[in-house]
Amino acid sequence: MRSSIMKISIYTMLLCILMSFGFAIPTGPRSITGEIDYRLLPYGAPSNDAIAGNITEINMNAWSVTRTWQGYFGNITGTIVLGDQNNATLYDWTNTNPNGRVYAARVDSIDWTTIACADKATILDGTEATFTLTATPDRNGNIPIDSVNNTFTISTDNMRTDGVTSRLVQHAVYDRFWVGPVQINGTTEPNECYSTVLHNATGWVEGDQSAGNNPDHWREVLLADGSGLTNIVYTAILEQDYVGFDGKAHDFEMLVGENGHGTDVSTTPYFFYVELE
């Protein structure tokens, strides 16, 4: 009897071990190269000649750098492999333009078995709003225009109002996809994820976020582990040498949250994962 119980226990343990390795999960890239930082250059200050007794009307258009977001863009090459625990490869399928996704998170231990769409109340309006210092309304009762929930939306919540102006925030159009063992629903299905669409060079129109953006390209989706309640995972859906914001071909563009408000000049490490198909 004891022997049978021990055998059952051993078989159960082995089955659990085999199941834990039975599916592919996102992994860190083998290398990251070409790390170059870019930043919007400030415009010089124009002048106006003041004359005593004059009253002068001046209308201005200004650009200010966001204090809420860090941007990333670049290219992906990779290989789908059949290999062992020592990284010895039995067979490989090299692809210079793979499909898949790039993930960015502030932790290096994502639980991919509990990944899901990021919960709005807990993540968008909670953790990320607090982390980026965009949770507190201004004196007019409005949250910052570049807050998380003014940047990511869903198909049924496309029109956002910030109290000053109404603007259209473009949600992404994406098909159902898998993250490791977990299915993420597409835009046409219930329980879609909050998403946004980044710019391409030819479509951008100042003052209209969605004017020229293509919802089928440069898509970013918000995920989180812990069934969507714990660690946020910014998710960029890969392109294949598609023209990006700077007029050059790239494979991904993405935003990640960062707090640069007030005197905060500290940096935040993001850990990158890749899943190729």
* Averaged pLDDT for residues 85-104: 89
Residue 61 pLDDT grade (very low, low, confident, very high; cuts 50, 70, 90) = confident
pLDDT at residue 6 is higher than 70: no
Q: Cα dist. 207→62, 98, 101, 165, 169 in Å? A: 12, 34, 29, 11, 11
Q: Cα dist. 119→123, 152, 264 in Å? A: 5, 12, 27
pLDDT in tens, 190-234: 999 999 999 887 766 666 655 567 889 999 999 999 999 999 999
* Averaged pLDDT for residues 176-187: 95
pLDDT at residue 7 is higher than 60: no
pLDDT at residue 32 is higher than 90: no
pLDDT at residue 96 is higher than 60: yes
Determine the residue type at 90.
L
pLDDT at residue 20 is higher than 50: no
pLDDT in tens, 111-126: 999 999 999 999 999 9
pLDDT in tens, 242-272: 999 888 999 999 999 999 888 888 899 999 9
Q: Cα dist. 128→113, 121, 259 in Å? A: 22, 10, 10
The verdict on pTM exceeding 0.95 is no
pLDDT in tens, 129-177: 999 999 888 777 778 888 998 899 888 775 544 444 445 677 899 999 9
Give the number of other CB atoms < 10 A from CB of residue 2. 6
Give residue 161's pLDDT: 47
Give residue 210's pLDDT: 56
pLDDT-above-70 percentage for the chain: 84
Give residue 165's pLDDT: 46
Give residue 203's pLDDT: 65
Give residue 22's pLDDT: 60
Least confident of 14-28, 31-45, 86-100: 14-28
SS3 26: coil
| 239/8: higher pLDDT | 239
Residue with tokens 């692809």: 95
Determine the residue type at 172.
A
Which structure tokens are listed for 215?
């919802």
Comparing CA positions, the residue from 69, 218, 200, 213 lying closest to residue 145 is 69
Report d(CA 34, CA 205) in Å as an integer.
29
pLDDT at residue 18 is higher than 60: no
Report d(CA 184, CA 115) in Å as an integer.
9
Which H/E stretch holds residue 134?
Answer: none
Which structure tokens are listed for 180?
């490791």
